[in-house]
Amino acid sequence: MQVKLLNSLNNNLIEAGCDEAGRGPLAGPVFAAAVILPEDFHHPLLNDSKKMTEKARETLRPIIEQEAIAWSVHEVSASDIDSINILNASIAGMWRSIVDLAPRPEHLLIDGNRFRPYGLTGDTFIPEHIAATYKDIPYTCIIKGDGKFAPIAAASVLAKTYRDEYMRRLSAEYPEYGWERNMGYPTRGHIEAIRRHGLTEHHRRSFHLKELEPSLF
């Protein structure tokens, strides 16, 4: 059944939808995106990216990029994830994307139930004087928002497709880990590859799996 997504929460404000991809993998960055859509934007394929086929996501990506009023995608590296934790890294990635948007959003639609001002994430990517000007932007956290609001769904598609593309490129350098298939997630094959070949610079050292404790941690 086709889901009818809402285009905004506040019709009188410039709203940006924000989402991330890659919180759970053992390897690779977390990617985040922010998107401002036109009020009349609609596409029958658009939904929570996790519920879409890869083909549908790849079809939608250039459409979103072309028709969005503004969009931005950023990554936060595995080393930064280890430094500030995955929740802060995910939020920091959203902020990195938000500050790139023009026009500046007046309200943020955040997928999930947790968000915080940039200064509380521990990230230092955004210059302090710029981050300070964004600290008062209001936001609304929406659980499963990528299945309810089109701007969040669009952000989820961009974050997911950009991260998958990145992991496929990375897999050419590290073919033994199968990242072009598992995208860095803890599949049986990926865990076995870590046992055999060890960790790379792209693995998240702060992500501990019981399956790996005897040999690696």
The residue range of the domain holding 76 is 15-216
3 state SS of 179: helix
Q: What is the pLDDT of residue 43?
A: 94
Number of domains in the chain: 1
**Contact (CB, 8 A) for 33 and 156:** yes
Residue 202 maps to which CATH number? 3.30.420.10
pTM of the model: 0.94
| Domain presence at residue 174 | yes
DSSP string over 112-128: SS----GGGS---SS-H
| Percentages of the chain per state (helix, strand, coil), in multiples of 5 | 45, 15, 40
**Contact (CB, 8 A) for 64 and 34:** no
**Contact (CB, 8 A) for 154 and 64:** yes
| Domain presence at residue 7 | no
Q: What is the pLDDT of residue 48?
A: 81
| Domain presence at residue 1 | no
Strand partners, 20: 32
User: pLDDT digit string (tens) for 20-51?
Assistant: 999 999 999 999 999 999 999 999 999 888 88
User: Is the per-residue pLDDT at 210 higher than 80?
Assistant: no
| Domain presence at residue 72 | yes
| Domain presence at residue 27 | yes
